[in-house]
Amino acid sequence: MRKILTIALLGLASLVLTGCPLTTGQVVVNIDLGTVHVSSSDPVSIHNVNLNDNNDYVDHKANVKSISDYAVLGVVNNGSSALNFEVWMTPGTTAYTTAADVKAHAIKLWGPLTLAAGASRTIGWDDSAGLFTAAGKAAVITETLGDGQFTMYALGLGTDGTTTSEFTATHGQLVLVIDAGI
């Protein structure tokens, strides 16, 4: 009996030593990004995000541990040129107006999603999750654990990577799966 007790205590100790949080879960939070439009005269689409406006986030804010899944969703309608659709972000509120400024000061969050001229596509959840960058994930986690405020930039870059290509994305969504205490 003493041996069984010792073994049970060793097992319990292993759980404690390695950490084994039982009271956590995965919660889906979506942020509406509305319609995004980029053109040569308006080369950057800016969206200020305040997670504190999202009830699902607010409900779990005090117990957020991390984020386990990320996606940018919506329907993209491309213009007359092939393009690479990218999303960048900065902490806090910023207002860069050119793609060059965004690329110089922001963190690449997602993309590129390459679209042929005139193409229309609904961005799938699985496809989108694979387009998030490691740096972008780290930045979103930092903001989610911080004040919850950041700025997202949508860019439509031509295949040369510098010129702006026109596109419109509707039903835009940022979807995060938050690991949180429950």
Partner 1 sequence: MKSIRLLPLLLLAMMAFTAVPARAVDVGVTVFGGSSIPVVQEDVKSGTTFGVRLPVALLPMITLEPYYASTALGDVTKTFGDLPYTRSGLDGKSYGVNLILGSPVGSAGFKFFPFGGIGSAKLTRPGTEIKETMFDFGLGIGVAPTDAFSIIARGTLNMVKSGDTTRKTADATVGLSYNLFHSSASEGGQK
User: How far, in Å, CA of 83 to CA of 114, rounded?
Assistant: 6
Which residue among 11, 92, 118, 158 contacts partner 1 (CB under 8 A)? 11
For 17-52, letters b (16+ CB in 10 Å) and e give eeeeeeeeeebebebebeebebeeeebbbbbebebe
- Under rule CB under 8 A, residue 17 binds partner 1: yes
Q: Which stretch binds partner 1 (CB under 8 A): 78-86, 89-97, 124-132, 154-162?
A: 124-132
User: How far, in Å, CA of 36 to CA of 52, rounded?
Assistant: 22
Looking at this protein, which amino acid is placed at residue 157? L
What is the phi/psi pair of residue 111, to 5°? 110, 180
Cβ(164)–Cβ(158) below 8 Å: yes
Cβ of residue 174: shortest distance to partner 1, in angstroms? 9
- Under rule CB under 8 A, residue 5 binds partner 1: no
Between 81 and 170, whose beta carbon lies closer to partner 1? Answer: 170
What is the phi/psi pair of residue 107, to 5°? -110, 130
Which residue among 132, 150, 153, 167 contacts partner 1 (CB under 8 A)? 132
- Under rule CB under 8 A, residue 134 binds partner 1: no
Matching residue, tokens 């207002």 = 95
Q: Which stretch binds partner 1 (CB under 8 A): 15-23, 81-89, 97-105, 160-168?
A: 15-23
Between 102 and 115, whose beta carbon lies closer to partner 1? Answer: 115
Cβ of residue 9: shortest distance to partner 1, in angstroms? 10
Residues near partner 1 (CB under 8 A): 3-4, 6-8, 10-11, 13-15, 17-22, 24-28, 30, 32, 65-66, 68-71, 73-75, 122, 124-132, 171-173, 175, 177, 179-182
